Chain A
Amino acid sequence: MTQLINKAKQRLPEAQVTVATRMGLSGVMAREVQREVLWWAYPRVLAARSRTARLWRGLGIGWTSAGYAALLPVEVPRAGRGMVTAIIDYSVVSPGTERARYLRLPNASFGLGMPGYSASGRVLEIGPGVTSIAVGDQVALAGASHATVASVPERHAYRLPRCLSLEQAALIRLGVISAHGVSCAAAEPGQSVCVIGAGLIGALAQRIALAQGLDARTMIARTRVNATVGEVGGVDRFLAIDESSDVVDRVEADIVIDATGDPSSVGLAIAAVRTGGRVVVLGSPRGATGAFALGEVQAKRLEIVGAHIEGLTVETERTGVDAERGLGEAFLRSVSEGSVPAGDLLGDPLDPEECAAFYRALANHSAPSRAYFDWTAIDSERRIGSGRMLRLPSLRAAGMDFQRRPLRPRKEFDDIIAGLDLDRPFREASGMLRIGLLGCGDIAGNNAAAAVIAPNTTLTACFDPVRRLAQDIAGRFDIDAARSADELFYRDDIDAVMIAVPHHLHAELAIGALASGKHVIVEKPLAHTLADALAIRDEAVRTGGVASVCFPYRYTPKVQIARRLADLGVLGTPSGAHLRVLTDQPPAYWVGGYSGRSPSTWRASREKAGGGVLIMNSTHYLDLLRYVAGMEFDEVWALADTLDAPVDVEDAITVSFRATNGAIGSMVGCSAIRGAINEELRIWGRDGHVAIEPDPRVYTLRSIVGLHTARWQTFGGGGALRGGANVRATYLSRFATAVDRGMSPDVSIDDAVAVQAFVEAAYRSSEEQCGIRPGELLKEVHA
């Protein structure tokens, strides 16, 4: 029977996931549903045991599945017989134990994924039979997890002695563990004690031992990083193993307390203890000790003593005396009286909203070795409330999967959006820029409309060598159809020329316009080659004209919000990006563009267009990578080919790149995908992820007002990025304002050159089959 039950227990979690998957949930959602069900059932079982039918609700830290952490709703039973419920102000991280559990290291129980066991707060209610605690008391709570609310047995709740801060009281359980280690040493006053490990448990054990009259002034640690902890604790001999391991043999302590939790450090302890001495294994060793020096243990006639806090429970059962309670009370008293200094051991307060980032850092040994969660940072409404016993568990797993059931941000997020003033794109418009349109092909209609919409631009004239195209635009927008490009360059009623012609003509015309004293806006890309792009830039510098490339996607609301999110720190340090541009250009595209208004074969010519899907369709997005995440491209590797259309530009390309900050990204583009899908643009960093295409989504481990942490959520409007008239109008208006105020435009000529350098580096990489650095390419071409 027991075997059957054990087998069922083993198989139940997997069965739950299987059922959830069959319900249509993705794997990560299924695991979240499993956690939700367990967390739903657990407080109800506890409530039944406590004979109470009511629950509190609050927030708590949960490990949602292997390797993930989040701040989640929790429920705890209201105080039943002998129980005390408290609202938690602080809970201390036990780094070794929590890291081991979080990583599911050997000998570390994951349990229900509710970390933490040492906290402090104020009593909300007491159950029948509770005599030592009253409502409103400040209490230390042993066994309370990292959450805003906890119910614990009365024996685990300690009313605070006078002069003890709630922050220090939150060390209670760690204090009991450490004191238990010292008691297992069974030392006589004056005996020498050496503690290995300068973490929280090690430091507390050393200080408790010293306070008990033991000669506990030697500490061994891997490095000298925590030497100050030793100094504060009265250590006068701090030995760092990374400096010299030989000194350990000369310690010869009567008792060595190993507080590291490192299975291999027991060897150090055996070396450091004198013959006939005692080694206390206080830190929980995670994993097997491959070569336990039994021979040396015998040669030195040692005692090796295990000191796990569970031992106190066994001892209590055997003796009838609550040993744990006694150690807890003594610890709090010692801290309040100052004989065990603890203020420096608390470390930094952590925002519980950022628990996911913290546990990742803890796993990587990059988190502070001492830290505590400050629950007072959570607003009171979310911190505590009445739970509903009859609530059903939520099986939605909202926010767990990028594609399914993202959450909506909280309403505070609206304030962030409102601050962007997206409804008033022309709010800062000034001046009046008179624009001449050079090129009246496919995109000319959009450009002309944008110039009309923008409040500080006006359209004066247009030119196209195909006369009917120029007359068409002129007629639609009631402007002059000029007879030559030169006419646009030399007219006094034109301040800027907007160039939208085949790519190979950009440089000649832009330079001509700049040389004539006009400002220049070039439809992307800046040119068909990097050399031409640099020639335009040089001419702009020489003439003082303002030049820019039309990258209007920057002004799409979702891009503006994404940029704001990046500025708020949702990404942390950017570490990667992915861009996908998959289209299906019909054969007609190569001879007449999208509209067919202007038949031409320049798009199919490498010499004229500069390239295919990369330079033609992807430069907007490359600009967004730079604009949103500040990525500067350091190195590019590419494969490009023409696989489908009878053209000499590439219709398939993949690019891998590294940014100057070390981020690694990729781009795949193809213009011959049958049943083309769409674009994808996503940027991620150490702390978060922003997807702009196809659907705007954000996921962050950082505490950002209005955003849920560690959950996918929507932002901004949907729909693909397109250069419609409104964003083009915003672009033109911002350009005009920059010209008016003598400022650099939002899209500077250097921005345009940077994108051009990426494009050229990718093409050269594909040809030469090696990595190309855009920065070096720029120098080479410019030379």
Chain B
Amino acid sequence: MITATVTDADVGFEFVLDEGDVAFVDADWLPALGRASVRALTVGLAETGDDRHPIEVARAKLAAAASSVVAYVLEQNKESDVASIHVPGRGAFATEVRSRLGVGETPSIGPSATPLVWVETSGDAAALHTALAGVADLGTVVLAAPARQPTIEIDLYRDIHHRGLCLHAVDLTVSEAASDAPAIPDPVPVASGQTVPMHWWYYLSA
């Protein structure tokens, strides 16, 4: 159980982990403000072995998932400019996806145009609604983070059917081997009860 408290300036964590485990939390998995339980990428002893640092394992996992997202997006978007792909988010995963796609944090297609593809990296229901509203007609919203809630309220007609949208859940569990060298910077280490400045992602260990 990991709880995060987010303010305008920093974030604090409270958590209890199994012995030998460490956890990683992406900045996009945090609540926008306030206190909430958050999901995390957990790395256990069995995955690190004797010679790998947990950060390397976590980085590889994130990179593999990013690679999977990028592969899907490029496959589906062969005939369009990558500039029409929008990957919002301040976290390490969104950054990695943008890096692999070669796009910036804001779409470069101009203020009047809407992106054809929107990669949603938070798993937050409100963020998904924003994505559905923000993507162009006949566009695609890529679900690139596990949903925080198993169900959400959605207006299928307005949000998907009438506008011909595609909601695609990519496989985020691909093996590390599928990934190439990640460009993800190091996470900020944090202990339970500690507050740290905002960062891309966080390394939680006892």
Contact = CB atoms under 8 A, between A and B. Distances in A.
Interface of A: 106-107, 184, 263, 266, 276, 281, 284-298, 300-308, 310-311, 314-315, 318
B165 interface: yes
Contacts of B162: 107, 284, 306, 308, 310
A591 to B, nearest CB: 74
Contact of B151 (A295, A304, A305, A308): A295
Contacts of B128: 294
Nearest to A276: B171
Interface stretch (B14-22, B31-39, B152-160, B185-193): B152-160
B120 to A, nearest CB: 11
Contact of B157 (A285, A294, A303): A285
Contacts of B155: 106-107, 285, 287-289
Given A306-B162, A311-B138, A291 B153 contact: yes
Given A297-B143, A298-B169, A307-B164, A292 B138 contact: no
Contacts of A301: 169-171
Nearest to B150: A295
B2 interface: no
29 contacts: A107-B158, A107-B162, A263-B156, A281-B160, A281-B161, A285-B157, A288-B154, A288-B155, A288-B156, A289-B154, A289-B156, A292-B153, A293-B150, A294-B151, A295-B147, A297-B167, A298-B146, A298-B147, A300-B169, A303-B166, A303-B169, A305-B166, A305-B167, A306-B161, A306-B165, A306-B166, A307-B161, A308-B161, A315-B138
B116 to A, nearest CB: 10
A471 B11 CA distance: 115
8 tightest CB-CB pairs across the interface, nearest first? A311-B164, A295-B150, A107-B157, A306-B161, A291-B151, A306-B160, A285-B156, A304-B167
Nearest to B143: A298
Interface in B119-166: 125, 128, 137-138, 143, 146-147, 149-158, 160-166
Contact of A294 (B137, B147, B165): B147
Nearest to A108: B157
A266 B157 CA distance: 11
A308 B128 CA distance: 21
Nearest to B160: A306
A308 B167 CA distance: 15
Given A292-B152, A294-B150, A295-B150, A308 B138 contact: no
Contacts of B150: 293-296
Contacts of A106: 155, 157
Contacts of A300: 169
A184 B156 CA distance: 16
B53 interface: no
Nearest to A293: B151
Nearest to B171: A301
A295 B146 CA distance: 7
A311 B161 CA distance: 9
B153 to A, nearest CB: 6
A269 B45 CA distance: 40
Contact of A297 (B149, B157, B165, B169): B169
Interface in B41-78: none
A666 to B, nearest CB: 43
A292 B169 contact: no
Contacts of B157: 106-107, 263, 284-287
Given A288-B155, A305-B165, 5 more contacts: A292-B152, A294-B151, A302-B169, A304-B168, A305-B166
A346 to B, nearest CB: 26
A300 B166 CA distance: 15
B54 to A, nearest CB: 25
Greatest chain B CB density within 10 A among A287, A291, A315 is at: A291
A276 to B, nearest CB: 8
A404 B31 CA distance: 64
Given A311-B137, A311-B138, A294 B152 contact: yes
A276 B72 CA distance: 12
Contacts of A291: 151-153
Contacts of B158: 107
A201 to B, nearest CB: 13
Contacts of B154: 288-289, 292
B131 to A, nearest CB: 12
Contact of B164 (A276, A294, A308): A308
A304 B156 CA distance: 10
A289 B153 CA distance: 6
Contacts of B165: 305-306
A263 B151 CA distance: 14
A293 B147 CA distance: 10
A263 B161 CA distance: 11
Contacts of B166: 303-306
A285 B161 contact: yes
Contacts of B169: 297-298, 300-303
Nearest to A291: B151
B24 to A, nearest CB: 19
B153 A290 contact: yes
Contacts of A287: 155, 157
Nearest to A107: B157
